[in-house]
A and B are shown apart, each in its own frame.
Chain A
Amino acid sequence: MNQYEPVIGLEVHVELNTKSKMFSGSSADYFSKEPNSCTDPTNLGLPGSLPYINEQAIEDCMKIGLALNCQIADVSRFERKNYFYPDLPKGYQISQYRWPLCKNGWLEVEDKDGNVTKIRINRVHQEEDTGKLTHTDGQTLIDFNRSSVPLVEIVSEPDFHDSSQVRDYAKKLQQIFRYLGVSNADMERGDMRLEANVSVRKIGETELPNYRIELKNINSFRFMVAAIEYEIKRQIEALEKGEKLTQETRGWNENKKETFLQRSKEEAHDYRYFPDPDLPEIRMEESRVKSLESGMPELPEAKVKRFISDYGISKANAQILVDSKELANYFEKTVEDGKDIGVSPTDIANYIINRKVNIDEVKPKQVVEEIANRKVGVVEDEGEIEKVVDEVLMENEKSVDDYKNGKTNAIQSLIGGVMRKTGGKVNIETVRRVLQEKLES
């Protein structure tokens, strides 16, 4: 069974969180709104309506492209992808095919053994979402609120060879979207959607297999990994039996833990792409790309490297801490607060990760104090603490004066002084109480 190698490519769709639609002015904030209440003539595809490009969406798409090391095209065009489906009001989707906005990028992924591989990204292009169908007995209900919400598609080359790489890639993309602030990238809500093209070939072969199975409509990373693993096995078994595999689209049945056929090759589309005559082309000057690039936040990959080198924490911890921009910022704020009282970044990293600190509720200062208090060999004798407090009070007249003049914040630096003198081996609350008693007496 081991003489086969999977060949996997990924198409990722991400819905942008712009205020208005991709090509018109109605609200793009459609989630849980009344059906057909966020529409206008353009995204309903009414006769006579016309599209107008949303600049924010184009910038967001370029940011994603830049984050994925793509080239931004000098000339880019929107095209029409023609097909009929009740959720597609115009009978075509405005998308990009021959002239995508961003192309030839890459992203490094890690497999389960920690091996790093560069996945080539063919393109990052801009398009629009469809409406939403609800199937009830014999009828299909259509809500066009989601119609024409900006959607970015990221198409990889078939460079993945196992499901753990796919998982890492998807996670990293999700992180990037969130760092850039371009999408919530929530899989369950459908902000982010994955499609995998899976086939297998004999090890040693270099040509792409002459078929591929598209896995679609799978709304979690976990299910996608399971579906890919199932497919690899199913395909190898089929080939071993001498069966011929052909192009088809399959979905994932979580109850049965197996993939199932959705559409076969005979129903393949002919999209008849051509440049959308309603939309002038996009020409990106280098200066504009540069200024966009310089305004981008530090991305997870760079942050991990910096955390390791600046704070001396482990790679594993760094990766956990950069999981979200908020957590990474929290960590850095805590490190800053910890400096005064000698609490090390490593201790802070371990504490935040092991205790699963709720960053919305616990203040960085509290974390620092907690860590300080947990130090071994805590001095509990109040007499000894008082002695140190007295010393600190003598040495910090300015802070004492500040405190007495109403700047009660000054107590923080006095606490810090006590912590330093005792190597952090005192209970912060005791120190605070003793200090307050002495200052207010």
Chain B
Amino acid sequence: MNDITGLTLIETLKALEEKKFSSEELNKAYLERIEKINPRLNIFLEIKKNPQNMPAAIKDIICTQNIRTTAGSKILSNFVPPYSATVIDRLKEKGIGIIGKTNLDEFAMGSSGENSAYGPTKNPWNETKVPGGSSSGSAAAVAADLCTFALGTDTGGSIRQPASLCGVVGLKPSYGRVPRYGAIAMASSLDQIGPITKSVADARLVLEWISGPDGKDSNCVDPASCKVTPCAARGCLAGVRVGVPREYFGKGLDKGVEKVIREAIKKLEELGAEIVEVSLPHTEYAVAAYYIIMSSEVSSNMAKFDGIRFGSGREDFGPEVKRRIMLGTFALSTGYYDDYFAKAAEVRTLIKQDFEKAFEKCEVIVGPVSPTVAWNLGEKIEDPLTMYLSDVYTIPASLAGIPGLSVPCGFSDGLPVGLQILGKYLDEETILNIGEIYEQSTDWHNKKPDLGKEA
């Protein structure tokens, strides 16, 4: 039963149905592996003692009734929510259990996992490297086979980027597809919950489970548009137009990463896709607009932490959280709203329109998720602006609200690289289908990190 933990979610469901092993054996296998590996990688903040059902790992920013939820912050070190997020209730209905709550950058603010008050998570492919962030623990848990799948949240790249850096599948759904109720808000107009999985088909299944309005998130859209059907014709991309934005291959993109992405695009072409060049001219302004909108919303969302109804005092926020609160507070203060927030909201419109125009020429847009592979722990922590710029390829889709998928597409310097596939608003179906066809015609998703003998 050594390979139980290596199975995908769908394979595990099938094995359970065929009674190849029991739910108890399944949980035991994962728990044993967690016990061996977690102390080295610092992936879990909370591990369930007697996990049951299908073992999923949940980013610790998603509220779980009667299970401590810290958001990676010292301020919530004792917070036990009296309610569960909608997605947790929905997973429960599907027979999914929680095996643990995963580490993250404090309140999802970070791109490396190092901003956690509970210590950084390490990349399963190389323990001296960051796993990416902010869903650092969720991506690492899937990569290290410590769960069947995980939930993360993505505000400016927090699912796609760690999925890319850890060599797993990560899906940021369209804004409004999955109810946010119960996910502790970072930037409300951008936050979205999504799956991190071992295969694209798994991501599709989890998305189906958690999508659709719940009567609590006002921004969640109509259920009619929430169906995702798997592609009928496998292995062929004939008739599909794949857009490649020239702005995603400019300076700052690591040569090794570029080579891997170019090869992946070539592979799509071999599979029958028509490659078209597209332009997203406002890409260079996306990070600036994002940092105004995000930090403004952060400054307001973090105001509820006053130490009265829950949590400790505001002095317990970590440095990055404080920095964003300060930036957002300043940007919204008297005399600056028009120059910053209003301006950024207008630039956001232009970025959204860039995608709308590009999608007239293609069904999906592909490019890198991250300009580099996983970097060294501690490398960028003193330089917030450089850290912010590492999200340059994920932020535009977040601002536009469109869905994005990261699929493993190779290695550079021995570290995983993810291919980003962006789709039209609410068209997860197409990006999942193209992602799956690519995945199934390559071998990258079968590569696992070597976690040594004791694993």
Residue in contact with B76 in the complex, picked from A47, A144, A272, A277, CB distance below 8 Å:
A47
Question: Are A53 and B308 touching (Cβ within 8 A)?
Answer: no
Cα of A274 to Cα of B292 in the assembled complex, Å: 12
Tell me the complex Cα distance, A277–B329, Å.
16
A274, B296: Cβ atoms under 8 Å?
yes
Against B, the Cβ 8 Å flags (1 = close, 0 = not) of A259-280 are 0000000000010111011111
Q: Interface of chain B, helix or strand or loop or mixed?
A: loop
Q: How many residues of A contact B (CB 8 A)?
A: 30
Interchain CB contact under 8 A, A274 and B309 = no
Given A50-B217, A52-B216, A272-B329, the answer on whether A90 and B304 have CB atoms closer than 8 Å is yes
A90 to B329, CA, bound (A): 15
Q: Is A230 part of the contact surface with B, judged by Cβ < 8 Å?
A: no
Contact with A along B328-362 (1 / 0, CB 8 A): 01001110010001000000000000000000000
A47 in contact with B310 given A91-B303, A92-B300, A280-B218 (CB within 8 Å):
yes
Is A289 on the interface with B (CB-CB < 8 A)? no
Is B309's CB under 8 angstroms from A89's CB? Answer: yes
Q: How many residues of B contact A (CB 8 A)?
A: 42
A82–B188 alpha-carbon span in the complex (Å): 15
Contact, CB under 8 Å: A274 / B81: no
The answer to whether A45 and B188 touch across the interface, beta carbons within 8 angstroms, is: no
The answer to whether B79 and A280 touch across the interface, beta carbons within 8 angstroms, is no
CA distance A45 to B218 in the complex (A): 16
* Bound-complex Cα distance A82 to B296 (A): 11
Tell me the nearest residue of chain B to A78, going by C-beta: B218
Q: Does A84 have its Cβ within 8 Å of any Cβ on chain B?
A: yes
Q: How does the 8 Å CB contact mask read for B191-220 relative to A, with 1 for contact and 0 for none?
A: 000000000000000000000000111110
User: Closest B-chain residue to A91, C-beta based?
Assistant: B303
| Minimum CB distance partner of A39 in chain B | B309
Cross-chain contact A278 with B332 (CB below 8 angstroms) = no
* Contact indicator per residue, chain A 35-48, by CB within 8 Å of chain B (1) or not (0): 00000010011111
Cβ-defined contact, A45 with B309, below 8 A = yes
**Is the pair B334, A277 in contact by a Cβ cutoff of 8 Å?**
no
CB contacts (< 8 Å) of A273 on chain B: these are 332, 337
B315 to chain A, nearest CB (A): 14
B218-A277 in contact (CB<8A): no
Question: Residue on A with the closest CB to B85?
Answer: A48
Decide if A278 touches B306 in the complex (CB within 8 Å).
Answer: no
Kindly list chain B residues whose C-beta atoms are within 8 Å of the C-beta of A53.
Answer: 218
Q: Are A45 and B304 in touch, CB under 8 angstroms?
A: yes
Q: Report which of A47, A48, A92, A278 forms a contact with B218, defined as CB distance below 8 A.
A: A278
CB pair A277–B184 under 8 Å, yes or no, is no
Query: Does the CB pair A48–B309 fall under 8 Å?
Result: no
Is A350 an interface residue, CB under 8 A from the partner?
no
State whether A82 and B299 are in contact (beta carbons under 8 Å apart), knowing that A46-B82, A46-B309, A47-B81 are contacts in the complex. yes
The answer, among A44, A142, A277, for a CB contact under 8 Å with B189, is A277
Interface segment, B175-183, B246-254, B369-377?
B175-183
B333 partner residues in chain A, CB cutoff 8 A: 270, 272
A44–B189 Cα distance when bound, in Å, is 21
> Which of B79, B218, B329, B332 is within 8 Å of A50, CB to CB?
B218
What 1/0 mask marks residues of chain B from 67 to 90 whose CB sits below 8 Å from any chain A CB? 001010000100101110100000
Choose from B69, B184, B188, B306 the contact partner of A91 (Cβ within 8 Å).
B306
Main secondary structure of the interface of A (DSSP, over half): loop
In the complex where A89-B309, A270-B334, A278-B188 touch, is A48 in contact with B304 (Cβ < 8 A)?
no
Task: Report yes or no: B63 in contact with A48, Cβ–Cβ below 8 A.
Answer: yes
Q: Are A51 and B82 in contact (CB under 8 A)?
A: no
Within 8 A of B (CB), among A120-155: 142, 144
For B329, the chain A residues whose CB sits under 8 A away are 272
List chain B residues, Cβ under 8 A from A90.
303-304
Closest Cβ of chain A to B124, distance in Å, is 29
Choose among B79, B187, B303 the residue that contacts A92 (Cβ–Cβ < 8 A). B303
Question: Please, how many angstroms separate the alpha-carbon atoms of A379 and B425 in the complex?
Answer: 88
Is the pair B218, A46 in contact by a Cβ cutoff of 8 Å?
A: no
Chain A window 313-353, contacts with chain B (Cβ cutoff 8 Å), 1 for yes, 0 for no: 00000000000000000000000000000000000000000
Indicate if B169 sits at the interface (CB-CB under 8 A): no
Tell me whether A89 and B304 are in contact (CB under 8 A): yes
B83 contacts A46, CB within 8 Å? yes
- If A45-B304, A47-B76 touch, whether A272 touches B332 (CB-CB below 8 Å) is yes
CB of A408 closer than 8 Å to a CB of B: no
What residues of chain A lie closer than 8 Å to B306, measured between beta carbons?
Answer: 84, 86, 91
Given A80-B300, A90-B303, A280-B218: A50 touches B181 (CB 8 Å cut-off): yes
Decide if B82 touches A41 in the complex (CB within 8 Å): yes
Is B297 among interface residues, defined by CB-CB distance under 8 A?
A: yes
Chain A nearest CB: distance from B83 CB in Å?
A: 5
Query: What is the minimal beta-carbon distance from B153 to any residue of chain A, in angstroms?
Result: 11
State A269–B215 Cα separation when bound (angstroms).
Answer: 34
Q: How far is the CA of A89 from the CA of B304 in the complex (A)?
A: 6
A243-292 with Cβ < 8 A to chain B: 270, 272-274, 276-280
Q: Which residues of chain B from 52 to 103 have any CB-CB distance to chain A below 8 Å in the complex?
A: 62-63, 69, 71, 76, 79, 81-83, 85
Least CB distance, B455 to chain A, in whole angstroms: 34
A149 to chain B, nearest CB (A): 18
Determine the residue in chain A with the shortest Cβ distance to B332: A272
Q: What separation, in Å, do the CA atoms of A427 and B217 have in the docked complex?
A: 69
Asked if A86 and B63 make an inter-chain contact with CB atoms under 8 angstroms apart, the answer reads: no
- Check if A217 is an interface residue, CB within 8 A of chain B: no
Binding site for B on A (CB under 8 A): 41, 44-53, 80, 82, 84, 86, 89-92, 142, 144, 270, 272-274, 276-280
Q: Which are the 5 A-B pairs with shortest beta-carbon distances?
A: A91-B303, A277-B189, A272-B332, A277-B188, A47-B184
Apart from A47-B185, A278-B185, what are 12 other A-B pairs with CB-CB below 8 Å? Answer: A44-B309, A46-B82, A47-B69, A48-B63, A50-B218, A82-B332, A89-B309, A90-B303, A91-B304, A274-B300, A276-B188, A277-B189
Can you report 10 A-B residue pairs in the complex whose CB atoms are below 8 A from each other?
Answer: A47-B63, A47-B185, A50-B216, A50-B217, A50-B218, A52-B216, A53-B218, A86-B308, A91-B306, A280-B218
